Amino acid sequence: SSSIYVIESGNNGDTARLRVVQRGGEEDDRVRIISGLNGGETIATSNLDQLYDGAKVVRR
């Protein structure tokens, strides 16, 4: 299993939440997530070394 940060929106802004996911196959620079992530959810793709579960984030 692997982990990613999902961005959740709330009354106090956006928050990074650590989520465990199961990876499937890889193709070129893409990885298939086969469980643990729902369609339409937003994931963090930058500044990952600065994130932690519950961190406030700004979408760009």
For 40-50, how does the pLDDT look when each residue is reduced to its tens digit (9 = 90+)? 999 999 999 99
Contact (CB, 8 A) for 3 and 19: yes
| Per-residue model confidence as pLDDT tens digits over 18-37 | 999 999 989 999 999 999 99
Q: Which residue type sits at 54?
A: G
How many whole angstroms separate alpha carbon 14 and alpha carbon 8?
Answer: 6
How many whole angstroms separate alpha carbon 17 and alpha carbon 55?
Answer: 8
